[in-house]
Amino acid sequence: MRTFLLEVTEGVRIALRAIWVNKTRSVLTTLGIIIGIVSVTSMATVINGLENAFDESLSDLGADVLYVEKWPWAKSDWWNYVYRPPIREELAQTIRERSDHAQAVAVSEDTDLTVQRGNQNMPEVETRGVTPSYGRVQGIKLASGRFFNDIDERSGRSVCVIGAELVKGLFPIAEPLGKEIRVGQHPCRVVGVLEKKGRGLGGENRDKRVLMPFSTFKRQFGICDWGGVEI
């Protein structure tokens, strides 16, 4: 036993002496190991973050949602699509009546506008006019308030639901519900606040948006042929 302990002690002493003699090499070797471990760990973290962001972005589109639009989402030769008929809101009613499988059908149209409250203003806010069933199609979740309903849609009420970024920029200390903002040049009363979503995979700010009844949007801003139906 004593011989074994002496051999172990001698081995440790020789190892320490070798490390001391080759200090630079030892430090570099240790540093290389540390950098390798940190790099692998960091890469795994980044990959997991990208996967989560990708999954979340896809979930925003909806796993069982069908989009009917005139123009493709990706850039393409416009002349291949220019003679397609425009998508009108009447199509939603037709799909709703004839489809055996569609659980909800929504009409959607959007544009970018400046949103104001007092001296505060936020440019290039995604402003989207949608029918009430859009909340069900997209699985909209609210942090507070309510989503607009069929009565709001039929009467064309100037009500809206806003994203978390607008709350931060326009209501730094005030409660937004029941307050009036200006979307473009039109007043609109806030009835709901969307849950915070963060940025999408493409870098778009999903919290910088306004949702309002489609009939209100159509009356105030008009409709082009870029809109669509979501099922």
pLDDT of 227: 57
Higher pLDDT, 225 or 98: 98
82-135 confidence digits (pLDDT tens): 677 777 777 777 777 777 777 777 788 888 999 999 888 899 999 999 988 888
Q: What is the mean pLDDT of residues 153-181?
A: 92
> Is the model's pLDDT at 62 over the cut of 90?
no
Q: What is the pLDDT of residue 104?
A: 75
The three-class DSSP label of residue 41 is helix
pLDDT in tens, 46-57: 666 555 554 555
State residue 3's pLDDT score: 64
pLDDT tens profile 149-162: 999 999 999 999 99
- 57-82 mean pLDDT: 63
Alpha helices in 105-229 (DSSP H): 134-137, 150-155, 164-170, 214-221
Terminal CA-CA length for the chain: 80
Evaluate whether 220 touches 127 at the Cβ level (below 8 Å).
no
Whether the pLDDT of residue 141 is over 80: the answer is yes
pTM: 0.68
Which whole number is the average pLDDT over 219-223? 83
- Greater confidence (186 vs 199) lies with 186
Q: Is 12 a residue whose pLDDT tops 60? A: no
Q: Confidence band (pLDDT; 50, 70, 90) for 175?
A: very high
Please give the share of the chain, as a percent, with pLDDT higher than 90: 29
Q: Mean of the per-residue pLDDT values for the chain?
A: 77
Please give the pLDDT value at position 109: 86
Q: How far is CA 44 from CA 37, 39, 50, 141, 202, in A?
A: 11, 9, 10, 31, 21
Checking if the pLDDT of 231 tops 50, the result is: no
Among residues 178, 170, 153, the alpha carbon closest in space to that of 208 is found at 170
Q: What per-residue confidence (pLDDT) applies to 70? A: 63
